[in-house]
Chain A
């Protein structure tokens, strides 16, 4: 939060500090609109209207006075901050040859505060571990957005990497392909989230490129990636699985029916690579709804 507060106008920071900052999940800033903070189930509308010029100043602070250095991230619609928090960006999007090249006039910023919860994957890990072989079952963790998938795989990665002495599971090499920088929160070569002692991180690159790089260069036992479902993902996941690397991924969805509606996920499931599909409860963060063995 310290870095976020450094980026915001002092008056706004003072207003936010009047609330329980430990519970803040989002700070939503829109041009010429009041700032809204989200504390879990509670939303608070602050009496602070941000001007368009202030948004640009906040943006400059976020980028450490170097907006040009964050152009790729801005084009992706978000910036990862030191400490693992993320800022979503919306506004006038510049598209060239069907590729987003910039967001020229920024309308809104959404500060998403990441929480590293130790033990978040305690319930789920027993479905994933193959203790006999000191390995894992290829797994897909599914839930709608905001149900704690990323928090769970972050904790899961740490456990697989560090090992779990209680059940005699020895730590294994894990590679996180962190397309959006949310899992490990790598910034200037430092992982701000603890993802374990045997974890390598490839940050801010498409999964289709990152997974291939990971298999070729880092020799991981397990690859972890967030939010699969792109066209290119099918081939690359097949490649990783055929290379003998364990896979743990997440995807958006409510049910198996939902998943199968996506051509890409349907293809991945048909390849019989994924052995466990774990659905999270959409009402209670991090709780398992059901597990399907394939």
Chain B
């Protein structure tokens, strides 16, 4: 009986601590994702300005340079663009993506789709630059949140876990 009780208490403690760690990791992943997206947009900006490659090719190329869910976002968009308008493909892929980002981050990224592939080089560069500037703000905010909350949620998970165990005991 004591063995089962101890096991259950450990499970409760482990679950609550894991929740804390997950919330804490969310801050880290969001900042990382935003930085990766910014890296992708920098590549996009350079290619539009200098190589005259077409958008579907550029997006697929970026997906080979960036790993994880951000790379997948670029890959899916590049593939989808071959059948749909670039802006629509980008917006749909952001909506469908399981990438860890805030609502505001996603809305800012979607604004890239408004003119994507529709204008001359200067128009494209201006739009990318606008989104990049917004991303800078979001990255700054995400890094501050990460520094503020990452350790806190980890510790909070452990403390709440312990508190619940004590109450149950």
* Interface set of A (CB-CB < 8 Å, partner B): 56-57, 60, 63-69, 71, 102
Contact = CB atoms under 8 A, between A and B. Distances in A.
A69 B86 CA distance: 14
Interface stretch (B114-122, B140-148, B156-164): B114-122
A263 to B, nearest CB: 35
Contact of A60 (B117, B120, B121): B117
A71 B56 CA distance: 17
B22 to A, nearest CB: 38
A57 B85 CA distance: 8
Contact of A68 (B81, B85, B124): B124
A68 B120 contact: yes
Contacts of A67: 117-120
A66 B54 contact: yes
Interface residues of B, number: 18
B86 A68 contact: no
Interface string B61-104: 00000000000000000000110011000000000000000000
Given A57-B85, A60-B118, A63-B117, A68 B56 contact: no
Given A66-B86, A67-B120, A68-B124, 16 more contacts: A56-B118, A57-B85, A60-B86, A60-B117, A63-B117, A65-B55, A65-B117, A66-B53, A66-B54, A66-B56, A66-B117, A68-B117, A68-B119, A69-B52, A69-B55, A71-B121
B85 A65 contact: yes
B31 interface: no
Interface in B31-67: 48, 52-56
B121 A65 contact: no
A53 B119 CA distance: 14
Interface of B: 48, 52-56, 81-82, 85-86, 116-121, 123-124
A174 B85 CA distance: 40
A110 B48 CA distance: 27
28 contacts: A56-B118, A57-B85, A60-B117, A60-B118, A63-B54, A64-B54, A64-B56, A65-B55, A65-B56, A65-B81, A65-B86, A65-B116, A65-B117, A66-B53, A66-B55, A66-B56, A66-B86, A67-B117, A67-B118, A67-B120, A68-B48, A68-B117, A68-B119, A68-B120, A68-B121, A69-B52, A69-B55, A71-B121
Nearest to B123: A68
Given A67-B117, A71-B120, A60 B54 contact: no
A60 to B, nearest CB: 6
A65 B59 CA distance: 12
Contacts of B55: 64-66, 69
A56 B117 CA distance: 11
Q: Which of A56, A63, A64 has its CB near the most chain B CB atoms (within 10 A)?
A: A64
Contacts of B48: 68
A70 to B, nearest CB: 9
A51 B52 CA distance: 29
Closest 5 CB pairs of A and B: A65-B117, A65-B86, A66-B54, A68-B121, A66-B55
Nearest to B59: A65
A105 to B, nearest CB: 12
A60 B118 CA distance: 6
Contacts of B121: 68, 71
